[in-house]
Structure 1
Amino acid sequence: MWKVCLLGWWVLGFGSVLADESLPRSAAPADAVVYLISPKAGEKIHGDVVVRFGLKGMGVAPAGVNLAGTGHHHLLLDVAALPDLNLPLPKDAQHLHFGAGQTETTLKLPAGKHTLQLLLGDQLHIPHQPPVVSEKVTITVE
């Protein structure tokens, strides 16, 4: 029985150490800015939503390309809080990846209010240090 308890303690303890580990984060200039060119905050949109991404102080490079001072865009759609900035960003219907280096997209969103926010990720989809994140923009699709 003591062996089972010891094994359980070791597994739980080792798992906590692994959970506390964060992946290395790429450096970003303190003055780097990512922003939404369009749509603008408060905008009312009929039909498809064309989203254009802006970036100052850094360059855009596709995922997998390890080039200092670059990253690629991730669009957070209707996300209440930022994801864990020490891990690769999730990829799902609310966390859209633009790993080919795209700087715009067109979204088909249901009618209603929506929030949009950009977060730059490095070659491994991990946010930079410091994080390069835009203001959250609220739009209404009619």
Structure 2
Amino acid sequence: MKIRALTTAALLSLVPAALVAQEPARKPAPEGARVYIIWPADGAVIPGGALWVRMGLQGMGVAPAGSAVAGTGHHHLIVDSDLPPLDEPIPNSPNHLHFGAGHTEARLELPPGRHTLQMLLGDENHVPHDPPAMSERITIIVPE
């Protein structure tokens, strides 16, 4: 008996398309949806580096991660980093902070220096909406 090896592509062609894992589809964001940083303001000087970031959202609702409710999402704060790929789940790292319980404010402690902050709303699977609901990137300064 002769055994023939199948390539991954050949094996996948035998599996119904509905069973093949796919990337999460991006949920639509309502027209005019807006994410913004209420505080701190762009250019703020934060002595000591401890601050509360207050997150704003207009035209959408906040729902915890895992809650599949149309027109909602939860906040992610991007600290000192570029935006992640917008068609993939937002990474969870020291530079990509998740607020999956529906937080609208968060306490941060930053070291001295210049820092950037940007909000990005994610759906129940942490995937940005289409179009992405995100704030402007701001810069804050923590003096020595």
TM-score (norm 1): 0.84
Structure 1 unaligned segments of length 5 or more: list them: 15-20
Cα distance per residue 1:85-142 (max 9 Å; x no partner): 1111000000000000000011110001000000000000000011001000000012
State the Cα distance separating 1:28 from its structure 2 match: 0.6
- Matched residues, percent identical? 54
Pairing 1:40–2:41 present: yes
Q: Once the 2 structures are TM-superposed, how far is the Cα of residue 84 of structure 1 from its aligned partner? A: 1.0
RMSD of equivalent CA atoms: 1.5
**Structure 2: which 5+ residue stretches go unaligned?**
13-21
- How many residue pairs are counted as aligned between the two chains? 128
The aligned amino acid for 2:39 is S
Measured in 2, the distance between the counterparts of 1:22 and 1:130 equals 17
After superposition, give the CA deviation of every residue in 1:28-70 in whole Å (9 maximum; x if it has no partner).
1120000000000000011212100000000000000011110
Q: How many Å apart are 1:23 and its aligned residue?
A: 2.1
1:87-102 pair list within 5 angstroms: 87-102=88-103
Flag the structure with larger Rg.
Answer: 2
How far apart in 1 are the matches of 2:125 and 2:65? Answer: 6
Q: CA offsets, 1:2-48, max 9 Å, x none?
A: x88x84xx56xx8xxxxxx6421111112000000000000001121
- Deviating beyond 2 angstroms after TM superposition, the runs of 4 or more aligned structure 1 residues are none
The 5 Å alignment of 1:37-76 reads 37-47=38-48, 48-76=50-78
Partner of 1:24: 25
1:106 maps to 2:107 = yes
Corresponding residue SS for 1:71: strand
The equivalent of 1:18 in structure 2 is none
Q: Name the aligned partner's letter for residue 54 of structure 1.
A: G
Higher helix share: 1
